[in-house]
């Protein structure tokens, strides 16, 4: 009998498929690592609540001997995220056997795993594009930008963060299917497109990952400059032809410069539902069955679906720089 949740495969094979999807997707999830992580509670609503606490006023008045000071109340700021469901499927033309040894299932889960990563990361990047703290490499608006990222622009962005008491990231979400975090050396994170790698390497003070010594690089990390570690992904795409006259910058049409975002993030700048744990992805395999639309049972499907969300928790703890990239 067909399984209503997973199609024609058993829960055992579904667990294998889920594990394979995650194994393919997780190492390449860049945004996943650096946010405040909160898993979806089972059998809950489509909303999830992230919480941060406001800083206390300084206690600058000296204590009076024998007198207990008035206790302060912690002020919580709740940010609500609405869960959204994503998913897709591919058509198969051969019967998929209900075993994890089946090569069609194996190949399909690998391809779909890459799609999962790109889909989830892109949905999160779209949230980041609403960040209100912006610096331009030159000019006062995006349509003037035609200058590459410089050390001066980076320093201005990090100064903006530090003025708001933003903290360096000291732990990240593990790149494994299990829950949990791991401690890392304190730093701010710069999220960039791979096109920017050359300009970043040319900035004075750049340290490549191969010279980190005892510090372990992140997946897709380029290197560090001062207290910023740069991590790249093709998800952080440019606005084509959105800048000023191209000059020596990359341009899609050859007229105006493409404008690339650099997202500088600090601890607890944003919250995510991680792609982890039970029910993070639901795989489905439907073997070919005779039907009115497929009387010879020639087509089946392999697919996935996932519930997730991403929200900015504090706009002041995230800065977007906009710059060109040297052609």
Using alpha carbons, select from 56, 76, 36, 265 the residue that is nearest to residue 166. 265
Using alpha carbons, select from 153, 157, 105, 104 the residue that is nearest to residue 133. 157
**E strands, the chain, in order:** 36-37, 47-53, 76-82, 84-92, 134-136, 169-173, 181-192, 206-208, 221-225, 228-232, 260-265, 270-272, 282-286, 300-308, 310-312, 318-323
Q: What average pLDDT does range 307-321 have in this prediction?
A: 92
The listed range with the strongest mean pLDDT (31-40, 109-118, 216-225, 255-264) is 255-264
The pLDDT assigned to 25 comes to 57
How many helices (DSSP H) and strands (DSSP E) are in the chain? 4, 16
Contact in structure between 120 and 308 (CB atoms under 8 Å): yes
What tens digit of pLDDT does each residue of 243-253 get?
A: 999 999 999 99
Flag whether pLDDT at 27 surpasses 70. Answer: no
Query: Residue 263 contacts by C-beta under 8 Å, 6 or more apart in sequence?
Result: 128, 131, 190, 191, 192, 236, 318, 319, 320
Regarding whether 244 and 140 lie in a shared domain, the answer is yes
Q: What average pLDDT does range 270-292 have in this prediction?
A: 75
* Model pTM above 0.75: yes
More confident residue, 117 or 137: 137
Helix (H, G, I), strand (E, B) or coil at 117: helix
Regarding whether 112 and 254 lie in a shared domain, the answer is no
Is residue 65 one of the residues assigned to a domain?
no
- The full length of the chain comes to 327
What tens digit of pLDDT does each residue of 181-236 get?
A: 677 889 999 999 999 999 999 999 999 999 998 888 988 899 999 999 999 999 99
Regarding whether 264 and 141 lie in a shared domain, the answer is yes
Flag whether pLDDT at 98 surpasses 60. Answer: no
Is residue 60 one of the residues assigned to a domain?
no
Regarding whether 318 and 186 lie in a shared domain, the answer is yes
Using alpha carbons, select from 303, 285, 273 the residue that is nearest to residue 115. 303
Q: Whole-angstrom Cα distance, residue 253 to residue 279?
A: 44
Query: What rounded mean pLDDT belongs to the chain?
Result: 84
Contact in structure between 190 and 168 (CB atoms under 8 Å): no
Domains identified in the chain, total number: 2
Regarding whether 305 and 263 lie in a shared domain, the answer is no
């Amino acid at each position: 009998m067909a399984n209503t949740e997973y199609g024609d495969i058993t829960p055992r094979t579904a667990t294998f498929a889920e594990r394979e999807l995650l194994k393919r997707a997780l190492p390449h999830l860049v945004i996943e690592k650096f946010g405040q992580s909160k898993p979806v509670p089972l059998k809950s609503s489509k909303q999830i609540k992230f919480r941060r606490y406001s800083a206390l006023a300084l206690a600058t008045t000296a204590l009076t001997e024998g007198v207990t000071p008035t206790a302060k109340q912690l002020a919580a700021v709740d940010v609500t995220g609405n869960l959204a469901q994503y998913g897709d499927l591919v058509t198969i033309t051969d019967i998929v056997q209900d075993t994890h040894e089946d090569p069609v299932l194996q190949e399909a889960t690998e391809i779909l795993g890459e799609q999962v990563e790109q889909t989830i990361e892109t949905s999160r990047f779209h949230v980041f594009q609403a960040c209100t703290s912006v610096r331009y490499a030159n000019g006062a608006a995006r349509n003037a930008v035609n200058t590459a990222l410089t050390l001066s622009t980076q320093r201005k962005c990090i100064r903006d963060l530090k003025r708001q008491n933003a903290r360096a990231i000291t732990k990240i979400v593990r790149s494994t299917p299990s829950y949990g975090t791991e401690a890392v050396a304190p730093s701010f994170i710069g999220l960039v497109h791979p096109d920017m790698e050359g300009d970043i390497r040319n900035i004075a003070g750049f340290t490549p990952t191969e010279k980190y010594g005892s510090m372990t690089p992140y997946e897709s990390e380029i290197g560090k400059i001062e207290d910023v570690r740069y991590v790249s992904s093709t998800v952080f795409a440019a606005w084509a032809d959105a800048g000023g006259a191209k000059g020596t910058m990359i341009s899609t049409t050859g007229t105006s410069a493409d404008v690339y975002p650099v997202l500088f993030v600090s601890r607890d700048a944003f919250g995510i539902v991680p792609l982890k744990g039970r029910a993070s992805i639901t795989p489905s395999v439907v073997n070919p069955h005779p039907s009115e639309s497929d009387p010879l049972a020639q087509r089946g499907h392999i697919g996935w679906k996932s519930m997730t969300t991403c929200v900015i928790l504090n706009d002041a703890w995230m800065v977007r720089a906009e710059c060109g990239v040297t052609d």
